[in-house]
Structure 1
């Protein structure tokens, strides 16, 4: 293999790994995907070290390692699936390494994430449905859907502007608490607690918490603890926003 081929392999593998971490993949899956890309490209003895903030990779026989930083994290499981599909296509020789890297670049710059109106509608339906499931409060279903939709919209807008997830969760949960109390006060709802429980569910960091447990169980202690702290901070932000409003009333 030429040096150019090795450089392209590392660039492609790191690019794929970064996309997977940024969109919510667990560390074991990222490490396995990178190793498979390297092996299918003709470098079975490559070394890789993956954390949620960066990836380090080297080629056996070469002195230098390359590092790919991970600066943002969100949840987009569709992107993870698309990266895995590209990796399988490369393993089956349906695409070349250069085409693999080119398609990763396209995927990186052209988000396939759902449009805002679908996110809002989904957040509203999930909020109302979970309020019924957890609290069996059917009369508050519609008002919970509306407040959950508004809460997710506030989270989305603030997160896009400030790019601080914890601040977005805090303000969105505070808005949810305020609207729930007002809804009950003006006889649009019957129980503020039930409405709040349903509306905050779309904000709960379920995927990060699940990945934290999976990373710890698979031996990735650094990443598992880091993800766990991230999920804990999100939970504290949500709880603090609700508690502040309930305390003020």
Structure 2
């Protein structure tokens, strides 16, 4: 029993860290639960239980230790980290990594920063905005206005979010700026179709992964996670729509 106690604590810490990284980086709820249970089973604990919501993880080892809880305060999109955690889980299952080695590897993944620099994200958002305009059958004459509006709007989203820490307001302000720039271009005769410019420019702000995960969680039977993610996606869409509606109402 004395040898099992520290091993159980280590397994709990390992599973919670793996789940935390995956949930913070945009993984689906059922994938997080399945990964945690598989890691525990591979380390000699076949009867573990996990309960995951978008804001927290509860994990327990059946009949040995009290349930442990970890809070998730921030979530982003980093599917590369999700892939790395899945790779660690597979290596644990195949016996290539011990629990100590896996814990060290997960801590390295957690502290690593794989995100692209801000300027590259802005450039990508700008190009994507112009391409979305063309995808929605916009004119080539509106490509540059959409590119500029999308880049400036995404820049506002990034930096306003750093100050306010409330995603709803940063998305509202970003869409408001996009609408204002699009209206300015059309008023000056540089742009042709106001609606196509706005639609193409706000697409980098649309929570596509969040909507997809909400539907997949609902289909997998995780109703609480699915509904909460759906509500978050709805609030994001509402913020984007409100910002554009304010511009249209004023002008």
Normalising to structure 2: TM-score of the pair? Answer: 0.96
Uncovered stretches (5+) of structure 2, i.e. residues with no partner = none
1:52 aligns to what?
54
Distance 2:25 2:190 in 1: 38
After superposition, the C-alpha distances for 1:158-211 in whole angstroms (9 at most, x for unaligned) are 112222111110000000000000111122211221110000001011111111
2:204 is the counterpart of 1:202 = yes
When the two chains are superposed, the root-mean-square deviation of aligned CA atoms in Å is 1.2
Distance 1:199 1:95 in 2: 46
Distance 1:20 1:188 in 2: 45
2:235 aligns to what?
233
2:106 is the counterpart of 1:82 = no
Distance 2:10 2:32 in 1: 18
Choose from 103, 106, 111 the match for 1:104: 106
Alignment of 1:1-249 (within 5 A): 2-249=4-251
Distance 2:61 2:5 in 1: 10
Is the partner of 2:136 in helix, strand or coil? Answer: helix
Is the partner of 1:114 in helix, strand or coil? Answer: coil
Distance 2:138 2:150 in 1: 17
Distance 1:158 1:109 in 2: 24
The offset of 1:99, in angstroms, is 1.9
Distance 1:152 1:34 in 2: 35
Is the partner of 2:113 in helix, strand or coil? Answer: coil
Is the partner of 1:55 in helix, strand or coil? Answer: strand
Uncovered stretches (5+) of structure 1, i.e. residues with no partner = none
The offset of 1:77, in angstroms, is 1.1
The offset of 1:94, in angstroms, is 2.4
The offset of 1:123, in angstroms, is 0.5
Is the partner of 1:244 in helix, strand or coil? Answer: helix
Q: Would you say the 8 A contact 2:138–2:193 is kept in 1? A: no
